[in-house]
Structure 1
Amino acid sequence: MTDYSTLADRLTGTLTTRDEPDHTAGATAFNLTVQHDPDAVVHAATEEDVLQTVRFAAAEGVPIHLHTTGHGAHAAYETGILLVLGGLSSVAIDPAARIAKVGGGTRWADVVAAAAEHGLAPVTGSSTNVGVVGFLVGGGLGPLARSHGFGSDHVVSARVVTGNGEVVDASSYGDTELYWALRGGKTGLGVVTEITLALAEVPSLYAGTLFFDLEESTEPYARWLDWTTTAPTDVTTSGLIVRFPDLEVVPSPMRGKHLFALHVAYPGPEDDGAALSEPLRELGSVYLDDLGPLPLADVARITNDPTQPGPSFLRGATLTHVDRDFAEAVLALAGPGSDLPIMGLEIRHVGAATAVETSGTDAVGFRDFDYTLTMLGAPDPALFGEVLPSVFARVEETVAPWRSPHLTPNWMADPRDPDEEARTWPAGVRARLAAVRAAYDPAHVFQA
């Protein structure tokens, strides 16, 4: 049995073991149906804490699992060490160089707020509540996807504690192979203790949401999909068919409504944004209009993703194209009269900057899709085992004529699934990632 007391003596942060009360406090998965119970939990306060933990784990032959915000937890961790990185939270902005140095345990909200003071913006995801590093190592698609590409395209460098128990500077001018792998390789590559990002110059943002009542008309949804086929390359939109429950916690205008929420983001002046958005306002009768000038610091308001943990079931896919037949198929699945036990079905329009080939300079894998699809299952854990996986299988079958065979890393349901791995990275990229993992983590301290 592993004696963790010798590790505790080396740490500035804290270590608890399974026999102690509140063992997993501060290390809860965002999806509350995932309940971690590892042998030990380390709350790192410094990079040295991370280094000592990795060296201990390698010597003792125990695995390390990483935790920042808990958004990336796919299954419960029941062995080894859960290494919590929230204590490594910091942001330093260099406005002249337009870069941000970010601690490995930082959430996007802190980076967004600090950069906005200088008219700059990180290429973040739709939720600023998630961790910076977890988003970026999976590529990262968000509300600036079409105008600015994958989030990982903007990674300048990273400090990494590898499975070898060393601190490595990964960059285009340092350790180039690890730098390549970290931008899209997702798991098993080490612990990023600091990451440097290039920031986008965004003096103004025209963004928000238009809501259409699906019970009144489904035509705005089909018209929006038509619009995406010729959309400007600097406008990113996503369309969510969502059924709001009739509960007090839901704002009254949305309570019990079946809506099409059209999220829009344009990084540019208000006049141009209003002109670009005019065709979207003309898709049909707008039920609620929350689209207009938006402070950079409020970018999370575009989609208003959940900020509190709860039971959740998400599955995703990518699409090569859309058309009127696709709209009819999706509306038959999730539109008025649908009996599927889901909260929503979202289509994100990407492409443009995300489709720019990078000539093998990163490990994102595939860039050959213009849309993503996400199913948000009903938040009822009783349905998670068999019902919702079968529902998603039905969704995949329905959209098969438009579906890409590929995934993007952050859309993987389980990174340990060989079939999903093959759909996420081409064979050459998978082989190269395996070689990087073998070189930097020969003892498999970080279990992918």
Structure 2
Amino acid sequence: MTDMVERLRGVVEGPVLAPEDDAYAQEVTGFNLAAQHSPEVAVGVTSEADAVAAVRAAAEAGKPVRVLATGHGSPVPITDGVLINTSRLTGVTVDADAKLAHIAAGSRWADVIAAAGEHGLAPVIGASDAVGCIGYTLGGGVGPLSRTYGFSSDWARSFRVVTADGEAVTASATEHPDLFWALRGGKGGLGLVTAMDFALVELSTLYGGSVFFDADDIAAVFGAWAAWTKTLPATANTSVVVLRLPPLEVIPEPLRGKTVLSVRFAFVGDPAEGERLFQPIRAAGTAIIDGVGEMPATDIALIHNDPKDPTPAFDRGLVLTDVDPGFVSAFLDAVGPQQQLPLIAIEIRYLGGAMNRDVPEGSAAGGRSSAYSLVLIGVPDPSLFETVLPGVVDGVLAGLRDWIATEAIVNFDAAFSFPGSYEACWPADTFARLAEVRATYDPDKVFPFGPA
């Protein structure tokens, strides 16, 4: 690999690092500290030209290429080939008249939110503003406004992509439309995206936030939430999460060391109507913290308030067919406050609405018919990741099997952690078409993707 390192250093302006180099460990570390990457060489690209040169060199040497930006979606250790880090490719410019953001590959959603907010605009993002824009969007992207506006990938208008032959191309509805179709939800194995143009919505405020209930109210509030979701219009978005919080000072005192239920809400429209719609949740229990109200759209990440600092992470995500009274009972039996489980969060999101409708030109986003999603997050202790947490999660899911859908959403299970989960991320015809597009643009699998 020494020849490869020297060759790359001759054509790439950014750092090219071998495992023995001091800066190597930092270059290959992402948000999920449990995924300890050890590629043969790491390349920190600083431009599209760097990306082109790195991909060409790797392809000519027969080395696989994988991409890292923030590392939120990299749960499986990378142990071979070339890892290209795009975190230095940052920058967001907004064309307010066109309601369009040009987003470089290493940018995070916080950058886009700030730039768009100056013009009364907002991106349709996920739960966290610390997540990288590109990897999230390639997987479709489900966030606090998805019932109202659809998958985040529905708002992508074009991508700049370095393909497996080392060519930089634009993929859009008019240029390389097959690749554009695949990039909007197909996730990986399609090339290295260096930038995208992303449409923005007119949104300066919304009615939303989170409300927290103590353990004694969990059963009543969760049952009310399940019934309440059946009544909501597509302008209303919600999720619910059981949290087992440690007794740490960084956690607000009313929540510290407790098992609580949080209901998240985001409504696009008249705040008075949002308040009226949310009233059944407030009436279902006694809130210990109520943070739901009119808020700037630039504060949307506070609804979920996901952690921003890197941490070891274990999670399992899947899709549910329904959340009916039978599910409510089974869910509370499995993960309610009486259970002692090494799970810090068990979240259910209400899906549907605009997510059910594909964009006019079509896209590869899977899970459009999904009703609810379920994500289980383990305590951040890597010693439990190999056997303990998988066993706990399997036990929980065994009690919920009657409500588990056959489909999946790729961003919720990027590790493809059980047989068939990769194929389940897309309808059969979409999965087959994705395979054709990958074979067209990457016949030699320079960008490997899918279960090993």
TM-score of the aligned structures, taking structure 1 as reference length: 0.97
Aligned twin of 1:240? 241
Partner of 1:286: 287
- Counting only pairs closer than 5 Å after superposition, residues 297-308 of structure 1 correspond to structure 2 as 297-308=298-309
Q: Distance in 1 between matches of 2:118 and 2:292?
A: 22
The equivalences for 1:25-424 within 5 A come to: 25-216=26-217, 218-358=219-359, 361-415=362-416, 419-424=420-425
Larger CA deviation: 323-332 vs 257-266: 323-332
| Number of residue-to-residue matches in the alignment | 448
> Is the deviation greater in 289-298 or in 414-423?
414-423
Do the aligned residues in 1 keep the contact of 2:159 with 2:194 (CA within 8 Å)? yes
User: 1:314, 1:347 → 2: CA distance?
Assistant: 13
Q: Is the 8 A contact 2:73 2:414 kept in 1?
A: no
User: Partner letter of residue 350 of structure 1?
Assistant: L
Describe the SS at the equivalent of 2:46: coil
How far is 1:270 from its partner? 2.4
Give 1:427 deviation, angstroms.
2.5
* Distance in 2 separating the partners of 1:213 and 1:239: 13
In structure 2, relative to structure 1, the CA distance for the partners of 1:359 and 1:122 (3 Å cut) is closer
Amino acid at match of 1:425: W
Aligned residues of 1:240 and 1:262 also touching (Cα < 8 A): yes
Q: Residues of 2 paired with 1:5 and 1:101: CA distance? A: 33
Q: CA deviation at 1:421?
A: 1.8
8 A contact 2:314–2:378 mirrored in 1 = yes
SS of the equivalent of 1:195 reads: strand
Letter of the 1:268 counterpart:
G
* Counterpart AA for 1:93: V
Residue identity in the other structure for 2:228: W
Indicate the SS of the match to 1:9: helix
Deviation string, structure 1 residues 278-312 (Cα, Å, up to 9, x no partner): 22211221111111121122111111101001111
CA deviation after TM superposition for structure 1 residue 340, in Å: 2.0
What is the alpha-carbon distance in structure 1 between the residues aligned to residue 182 and residue 394 of structure 2? 31
Alpha-carbon separation, structure 1, partners of 2:345 and 2:132: 24
- Give 1:225 shift: 0.8
Amino acid at match of 2:202: E
**Inter-partner Cα distance in structure 1 for 2:262 and 2:86:** 34
Give the Cα–Cα distance (whole angstroms) in 2 for the partners of residues 184 and 357 of structure 1.
Answer: 11
Structure 1 residue 24 displacement after superposition: 2.4
1:30, 1:193 → 2: CA distance?
A: 20
CA distance in 1, matches of 2:282, 2:418: 42
Contact (CA 8 Å) 1:68, 1:85: kept in 2 or not?
Answer: yes
- CA deviations 1:156-197 (Å, max 9, x no partner) are 111100001111110111110000000110111111111011
Q: 2:417 and 2:25 mapped to 1: Cα distance?
A: 23
Give me the whole-angstrom Cα distance separating, in 2, the residues matched to 1:88 and 1:238.
33
Residues 312 and 66 (structure 1 numbering): CA distance in 2 closer, same or farther, change over 3 Å?
A: same
8 A Cα contact 1:119 1:203, kept in partner:
yes
Counterparts of 2:342 and 2:264, CA distance in 1: 23
Q: Is the 8 A contact 1:144 1:265 kept in 2?
A: yes
Work out the CA distance in 1 between the residues paired with 2:395 and 2:223. 21
In the TM superposition, what is the alpha-carbon distance from 1:358 to its structure 2 partner? 4.5
After TM superposition, give the deviation of residue 418 of structure 1 in Å: 6.2
1:393-424: per-residue Cα shift (whole Å, max 9, x none)? Answer: 12222222222111011012425976112211
Match for residue 23 of structure 2?
A: 22
CA distance in 2, matches of 1:330, 1:357: 31
Q: Which SS does the other structure have where 2:299 is aligned?
A: helix
Aligned with 2:182: secondary structure?
A: helix
Cα distance, 1:98 vs. partner? 0.8
Q: Larger deviation: 49-58 or 7-16?
A: 7-16
Aligned equivalents of 1:339, 1:182: Cα separation in 2: 41
Seen in structure 2, the aligned counterparts of structure 1 residues 11 and 139 have a Cα distance that, compared at 3 Å, is same
Asked if structure 2 preserves the Cα contact closer than 8 Å seen for 1:123 and 1:144, the reply is yes
1:216 deviates by 4.5
* 1:346-384 Cα deviation digits (max 9, x unpaired): 100010111124577111133111100000112221211
Deviations 1:63-111 (A, max 9, x none): 1110000111121112111100011111111111111111111111100
AA of the residue aligned to 2:287: V
Whether contact under 8 Å (1:185, 1:433) holds in the other structure is yes
Could you tell me how far apart the structure 2 residues matched to 1:346 and 1:199 are?
A: 27
Q: Which runs of 5+ in 1 are unaligned?
A: none
On the 8 A contact 1:32/1:312 being kept in 2, the answer is yes
Letter of the 1:157 counterpart: S
Whole-Å Cα distance in 1 between the matches of residues 81 and 404 of structure 2? 38
> What is the distance in 2 between the residues matched to 1:263 and 1:444?
41
8 Å CA contact 1:320–1:368 kept in 2: the answer is no
- 1:50 CA drift (Å): 0.1
Q: Quick one: percent identity of the two aligned structures?
A: 41
Residues of 2 paired with 1:328 and 1:418: CA distance?
28
Write the distance in 1 (CA, Å) between the matches of 2:136 and 2:260.
28
- Could you state the TM-score of these two structures normalised by the residue count of structure 2? 0.96
RMSD: 1.5
Superposed displacement of residue 134, structure 1? 0.6
C-alpha displacement at 1:237, in angstroms?
A: 0.4
Alpha-carbon separation, structure 2, partners of 1:378 and 1:7: 40
- CA contact under 8 A between 2:217 and 2:285: conserved in structure 1? no
**Which residues of structure 2 form unaligned runs of 5+?**
none
Give CA deviations for 1:1-38 in whole Å, capped at 9, x if unaligned: 45111211111211111121231214312121111111
Cα distance change on mapping 1:390 and 1:416 into 2, 3 Å? closer
Q: Does structure 1 conserve the Cα–Cα contact (< 8 Å) formed by 2:163 and 2:442?
A: yes
Equivalent AA in structure 2 for residue 321 of structure 1: D
1:130 maps to amino acid: V
